[in-house]
Amino acid sequence: MSASLPERRGHKVLIEPTADRLALVAAENFVTTADTCVADHGRFTVALSGGSTPKALFRLLATGEFQSRIDWTKTHLFWSDERCVAPGSVDSNFRMACETLIDNVKLPQGNVHPLNGLLPPAEGARQYEAHLREFFAMPTGFPRFDLILLGMGDDGHTASLFPGQPGVHETTTLVTTGEKGYARLSFTPPMINAAARVWLLVAGAGKAEMIRTVFTGDDPPETYPVKCVDPTDGEATWYLDEAAAALWRKAG
């Protein structure tokens, strides 16, 4: 039997008492990671996600306590997934990030790299892949983000990789398409797993059953796509609050 998810090489789990504390710890670690990356190679590349827990992190990063400690001129923001909607739509991950973070910090416009949700999905995926390859100067292979932020749905999806959809099996492209309520664009599993760091932010009792399932079960990624997350030469950190971790801890 393969190792359970938290026991895999490069995986670790941080459990905080509350969702607020989880966001605070993630914000502190975001600042430290940004400093490390800028000092090491002159910039900090981050892929954002949607969801309520990442949203709490974005709000904190925009506060005076944190935003003044980050060199935003050397920070580049991308998105790991997006619904195929207008950028001003209430369902847009880009809009959420603008309202909570981007509009409130001194981030150069050229450092913001959104997906284009107005194009036909396949075209939008190709366009974003071309942009990623140009930005990272990588005509082949998988670009390496400093940090990819992800959440987890109560169905076990992450980014816009959904149970039973073909994107979970994609091995050659950087960006794929999916469908749930809307057509969607998403990083592929190998694109996510090329990152130096992947943080999965999961909070609330509503996620407890799924955390227990993905941490202890043998179900394949086709069933629970979050199990695709397994960096090839990096680390995956699960940020959980006590409520999300409760059933897994009881099972252990």
Cβ–Cβ under 8 Å, residues 94 and 128: no
Question: What value does the mean pLDDT take over residues 172-188?
Answer: 96
Reported as a pLDDT band with limits 50, 70 and 90, residue 1 is: very low
Regarding the domain delimited by 17-251, which CATH topology (the fold level of the hierarchy) does it fall under? Rossmann fold (3.40.50)
Enumerate the domain spans of the chain.
17-251
Looking at every residue in the chain, the average pLDDT score rounds to 96
Question: What value does the mean pLDDT take over residues 171-183?
Answer: 95
pTM to 2 decimal places: 0.96
Give the other-Cβ count within 10 Å of 162's Cβ: 20
Question: What value does the mean pLDDT take over residues 147-170?
Answer: 97
Question: What value does the mean pLDDT take over residues 233-248?
Answer: 98
Reported as a pLDDT band with limits 50, 70 and 90, residue 3 is: low
Q: Across the beta sheet with 182-187, what order do the strands follow?
A: 81-83, 182-187, 175-180
Write the pLDDT tens digit of every residue in 75-132: 999 999 999 999 999 999 999 999 999 999 999 999 999 999 999 999 999 999 999 9
